[in-house]
Amino acid sequence: MANKAFDVKIGINPISWSNDDLPSLGGETPLSTALSEGRAIGYQGFELGNKFPRESAALRELMAGYGLDVVSGWYSGRLATRSVNEEIAAVESHLHLLADNDSKVMVYGEVADSIQGERTVPLYKRPRFRDEDTFKRYGERLTAFGSYLLKHGVRLAYHHHMGAYVEAPEDIDRVMAYTGDEVGLLFDSGHAYFGGGDPLDVLTKHIHRVCHVHCKDVRPAIIRHARNRQWSFLDSVLNGVFTVPGDGAIDFAAIIDTLRTHAYQGWLVVEAEQDPAVAPSYAYANKGYQTLRALVDGAPLKEFA
């Protein structure tokens, strides 16, 4: 066990209010609503979405006005199909936006050949590396890219994701095996479960590489439908595959206990893609926060409206 204290902050992704990939889900909701409601609930920071300013000073001023931190921000990487130098050129503005606003991690999502945004493509058609050598070379590029980010004080947090090259537990094992410590793991409880794994097993196996945590719960019945009916990722979201901690099947008490035991230091981010018309943003964001807050503080869990 590490000797460091369990020093965590609880943040949220604006996707609870407005979905970047499916603008029909809360697209009309202004950013000010998300920020004011998130702050009122008790969240300490937000990850970025497409409604945030993309200029460092403007972003800093906006977040300071709400007393919120910039947690991180998704970056659509393509190292599966392009060079490290090409990726470095592509990331510059986003990297500086995060670094200038004191973010310590960058959420790296591999979107090359991904079907996560293709509503008509079923999940089983996701991309796969053709052989181990290809996967290994991908890992080498990720490590070099991660090394570059660290020079700016930002660590690459690799997001395993449905519909992408790294989805299943064995994919996570390989990407961790083929990368150096310059590459951290973004552990996403919901994607770990949906991808076919036991979230606690995935977390425990790779705990020493975990540098960022997305807390989303799942509805197993919807996952079964998604697989059996060959839904796309977006259709799975629309049908309610994800929800906030405390509203699904994942044992977050065990997850928080594992993070505490290993003295994880960083953010716990509630990120649960849902339709706000079905799952009202404030109520569900509040439930997710209160669930995590109680677990972090060691308080009894209660029901939250």
Q: What CATH number is given to the structural domain containing 14? A: 3.20.20.150
Stretches where the chain sits below pLDDT 70 are 1-4, 299-305
Residues with Cβ within 8 Å of residue 245, at least 6 apart in sequence = 189, 215, 216, 217, 252, 270, 287, 288, 291, 292
Q: Is residue 303 part of a domain?
A: no
| Best CA proximity match to 33, nearest among 206, 241, 276, 239 | 276
Q: Is residue 76 part of a domain?
A: yes
Residue 1, pLDDT score: 40
CB 116 within 8 A of CB 162: yes
The helix/strand/coil state of 64 is helix
Residues with Cβ within 8 Å of residue 202, at least 6 apart in sequence = 169, 172, 187, 192
Residue 3, pLDDT score: 46
CB 69 within 8 A of CB 44: yes
Q: Is residue 99 part of a domain?
A: yes
Sign (positive or negative) of CA dihedral 250, 253, 256, 262: negative
CA distance 296 to 262: 14
Q: Is residue 2 part of a domain?
A: no
Residue 7, amino acid:
D
Residue by residue, what is the 3-state secondary structure of 44-91? CEECCCCCCCCCHHHHHHHHHHHCCEECCCEEEECCCCCCHHHHHHHH
Specify the length of the chain in residues.
305
pTM listed for this prediction: 0.95
CA distance 234 to 277: 16
The helix/strand/coil state of 184 is strand
Q: Is residue 54 part of a domain?
A: yes
Tokens linked to 179: 């990368």
CA distance 105 to 45: 13
Q: Is residue 305 part of a domain?
A: no
Residue with tokens 């901690």: 245
Number of domains the chain is built from: 1
Domain boundaries, position 230:
8-297
Q: Is residue 1 part of a domain?
A: no
Q: Is residue 224 part of a domain?
A: yes
